[in-house]
Amino acid sequence: MVATPGTYRLRMWEYLLRSWRPYFFSTLGEALLAPVLYLLALGFGMGSLVNRNGTEALGGVPYVDFIAPALLVAAALQVAIGESTFATFARFKWTRTLWGTTATPITPAQACDGHVLFIGTRLLISSAMYFVVLALFGVAGGPSGLLMIPIALLCALSCAVWVLALSASIADDGAVAFNLLIRFVVLPMTLFSATFFPISQLPWAVRWLAFFSPLWHGNELARATALGGVSGWAIVGHLTFLVVLGASGFVMARRRFTRRLVV
Amino acid sequence: MIRARGLTKSFEVKSGATVHAVRGIDLDVPPGEAFGFLGPNGAGKSSTMRIIACGSPRTSGELRILGLDPDVDGVRIRDRLGVVPQQDNLDEELSVRENLYIYGRYFGYSRAHCWAKADELLEFAQLTEKSKAKVVSLSGGMKRRLTIARSLVNDPDLLLLDEPTTGLDPQARHVLWDRLFRLKQQGVTLVLTTHYMDEAEQLCDRLVVMDGGTIVAEGSPARLISEHSTREVLELRFQPGSQRDAEPIALELVERVEVLPDRLLLYTQDGDETLVQAHARGVRPLSTLVRRSTLEDVFLHLTGRSLID
């Protein structure tokens, strides 16, 4: 009895959900608490200083409205990085459970698909929670603000697939590589991608770097849905960047899973 | 079940050199047989097992598993295989029962079927009482039993076991052997690797001895012993270090002598007779033992390694 490829992908997804289950409530608590703290400290606390200085650079909106959409996207990115680094690497190297999985009819590429599905599910849940908190504080924009959820999903997933490929490729010590990744890629990306201030505040010499940051594209899109004021062409550009990044990373991740598990 | 002709496996290592792990082996394993790979570390046993498990493509040669070509029908073959890897890869954070359930799900079975199968296998592996325990809390022997139980979720036609009892205490090994015997009686084809000679003798109908990526001998345990060793072995124990003094005399008495740190092994048809001759030539060991040849003697002979290495 051989099942369909779709079934095998879902069975991998089912396993990942089951192993996440013990952590469900702790991640939920985190997903609700983090936005409250960020909004209070940065949005309202520091925002009161920013607003006093004039908000033209922010497009004329209060600071808390400016950062809220980007906080949601940046949080999604954190979740995606967490799931695609240590958690995934462990299945290759420490617990080796993926070797058990691919001794069954499930292929490495299908196992990769299951991971993408799972991370997508995780992102959907945590972004929705984040959205609820933003809405409670009245900083989630109008009805079109709901689109922040799929945008955060797209942005975070387009990064996660590349990190999945990395996790599948590291032979020895994942911890070193991931610490480098988090310190020298994810953190700078979070700080300089118009999350906390618009990139118009950056000198031209470094401003172009943001154009290569998937988070900047995600932030701009999320802000466009919540606050408006971005041209249609810019939206198409941001979406194209993220879709191309995600699709190419997905192909890469599937290949890397196969190369790792079929030797 | 398995048919291989001229099977090879080579791969490049980081330094750019090519390693030839398997150098052209022929295999025929009929249904219902318990077949063993014996050999020292690095002989190519595990590489061969990975190829048979469809987890590693062969470099060249012909191969049919269950009548199918792994390069074409890997999914269909893996659907019918049970695999017990050398290193356990259970999910330690899930319960014992969940590990079996999830593995059943991987094969595409329904939820109800997987829970029922999990309970049946818990019984088989004598782990029913541990059903709800997390795997991380199990002993090594229990984990191994769980891994074997897990490999049976799809009622495999062919069960592959890579060093099933390495690292276990004697009691745990006997429990495992007992379970494997039952499977054998049910007609499951077993293919296993081991470097325990007693395990090979207990479980295998037929064995191959591998060394350096090739098969150096093949046959039933009894036949291997009769072909590659003498009927009896005379062991002469000495003060460690002084055993070599008696080696020249021993070599005059018998054709083959193995030198161990504290003793000489003399391969002979009649151990008592050889002992009398040795005494007559002035050999004065601390103690002596006459025993029948075992697979261990065959192994030492064929793989050309003395136990001193």
Enter the ipTM: 0.92
- C-alpha B159/C-alpha B201 separation (Å) is 18
Greatest mean pLDDT range, B117-121, B184-188, B210-214, B237-241: B117-121
Give the pLDDT score at B309.
Answer: 38
Contact (CB, 8 A) for A130 and A53: no
Give the pLDDT score at A57.
Answer: 85
Instruction: Decide if B90 and A100 are in contact by the 8 Å CB cutoff.
Output: yes
Contact (CB, 8 A) for B189 and B158: yes
The pLDDT confidence band at residue B255, using thresholds 50, 70 and 90, is: confident
Instruction: Characterize the bridge pairing of strands B206-211 and B34-38.
Output: parallel
Tell me the chain B residues in contact with residue A106 when contact means C-beta distances shorter than 8 Å: 106
- C-alpha A204/C-alpha A191 separation (Å) is 17
Tell me the chain A residues in contact with residue B162 when contact means C-beta distances shorter than 8 Å: none
A262 touches chain B (CB under 8 A): yes
Instruction: Decide if A105 and B91 are in contact by the 8 Å CB cutoff.
Output: no
- C-alpha B250/C-alpha B239 separation (Å) is 16
Give the pLDDT score at B307.
Answer: 41
**How many CA atoms are closer than 13 Å to the CA of A123, on its beta-carbon side?**
32
Residue A175 contacts by C-beta under 8 Å, 6 or more apart in sequence? A86
Q: What is the pLDDT of residues B207-229, one digit of tens each?
A: 999 988 999 999 998 899 888 88
Flag the least confident range among A109-118, B212-221, B255-264: B255-264
The pLDDT confidence band at residue A219, using thresholds 50, 70 and 90, is: very high
Q: What is the pLDDT of residues B129-171, one digit of tens each?
A: 999 999 999 998 999 999 999 999 999 999 999 999 887 888 8
> Domains of chain B: which residue ranges?
2-219, 230-292
**What kind and span of H or E run contains B236?**
strand B232-237
**How many CA atoms are closer than 13 Å to the CA of A212, on its beta-carbon side?**
7
Instruction: Decide if A8 and B106 are in contact by the 8 Å CB cutoff.
Output: yes
- What are the φ/ψ torsions at residue B81 (nearest 5 degrees)? -105, 155
Give the pLDDT score at B305.
Answer: 57
Q: What is the mean pLDDT of residues A81-99?
A: 95
Q: How far is CA B2 from CA B49, B52, B53, B145, B200, in A?
A: 11, 8, 11, 25, 19
> Domains of chain A: which residue ranges?
5-261
**Residue A224 identity (one-letter amino acid):** A
Q: What is the pLDDT of residues B38-68, one digit of tens each?
A: 988 888 999 999 999 999 999 999 999 999 9
CATH placement of domain B230-292: 3.30.70
The class of domain B2-219 in CATH terms is: alpha beta
* Look-up of token digits 């030539």: B281
**Smallest CA–CA separation between B125 and chain A, in Å?**
19
Instruction: Decide if A22 and B103 are in contact by the 8 Å CB cutoff.
Output: no
Q: What is the mean pLDDT of residues B222-245?
A: 88
